[in-house]
Amino acid sequence: MDTSTVWTDLMKLTQLSSYDIQGFTDHIPFSFFEWMKTSALRSIPRIDRSQRQLAPLFLDVLPVMPHLQSLNYKWFFGEPEKEVLWLIDLVQKCTQITELDLEISHRQISLFVPVLAGLTNLVTLRLESDLMWTMPPLFFTLNFPQLKFLRNILIASADVSAFGTWLDRHAGLEELRLTLESQEDLYQSQLFDKCTALISLDIRLLVKPLPSFCLTDLPPTLRKLMWRPSPGPNFLPNEHQLTHFGFDEFDNNIRRHRSLVDLHTDWLDQFWVVEMSSW
């Protein structure tokens, strides 16, 4: 198959914002990389270890793409530190992105955290690793004014207070997925008091909570809560605004939070005259 025509045809799509072509992304022609510099692309297919030979081109092209919003890197598990230095350099230079999805070795988390400081436009940050890891304390000194979605971070008990201060500075968070070491981390800090926009919260505890453990305060905006391991029967406060807890739904709250537009009946069906001749 002659793949050159595929890339030529793509370059004719002046409004193309994303593409996902599997099977021959290792043979991208230089002309396509040059086209990317002024294209309307907002995202590119995820980069993996098989494309490390393209590192010089990525470093030359991606930071200057005016519309690029998303970077996605996976499967660097077990890579030697020197093999990801180019990736660290790339992330640091792509200050225009609003979404960063990293799936890397736990040994490399501390290498990436310092370069996040320049990504002040981030709306979504997701970190995934091969083994259990904790967020380096340096992370809690960083500021992301636009951040709404933070996913898959583990907070050590010693850093809960610093994380709480960090949350105070990021009151616009709407979705949060994190792992804590124990229920005491929640007792000792009012983590979510300043999370006035939080809609979805996913918490995993490394130690199973006591059966008597009960949440006393939830952000009033919170609608979806996932909690692992499964808590005791009296876990939720009596008056809560949740629509979903785990895989359960609270129908009354779902109806309560639906807007008048959602609830309206089809008035035309109710009042429209079916036969004009009956007038």
Instruction: Look at residue 239 and tell me whether its pLDDT is greater than 80.
Output: no
CB proximity list for 129: less than 8 A, separation 6 or greater: 77, 103, 104, 105, 106, 109
Q: What pLDDT was estimated at residue 256?
A: 59
Tokens of 195: 């999370």
Asked if residues 156 and 132 have their Cβ atoms less than 8 Å apart, the reply is: no
Name the band, by pLDDT with cuts 50, 70 and 90, for residue 211.
Answer: low
Quote the mean pLDDT of the chain.
83
- Three-state DSSP class for residue 201: strand
- Largest pairwise CA distance in the chain: 83
CA distance 25 to 20: 9
CA distance 48 to 51: 6
Asked if residues 67 and 98 have their Cβ atoms less than 8 Å apart, the reply is: no
* DSSP one-letter code for 46: P
* pLDDT tens track for 117-135: 999 999 999 998 877 788 9
Q: What pLDDT was estimated at residue 187?
A: 66
Residue that wins the pLDDT comparison between 83 and 21: 21
- Three-state DSSP class for residue 97: coil
The pLDDT of 150-160, averaged and rounded, is 91
* pLDDT tens track for 166-181: 999 999 999 999 998 8
Residue that wins the pLDDT comparison between 251 and 222: 222
Name the band, by pLDDT with cuts 50, 70 and 90, for residue 78.
Answer: low
Ranges 145-159, 193-207, 247-261: which has the least confidence: 247-261
pTM above threshold 0.85: no
Q: What pLDDT was estimated at residue 277?
A: 47
Residue that wins the pLDDT comparison between 6 and 81: 6
CB proximity list for 23: less than 8 A, separation 6 or greater: none
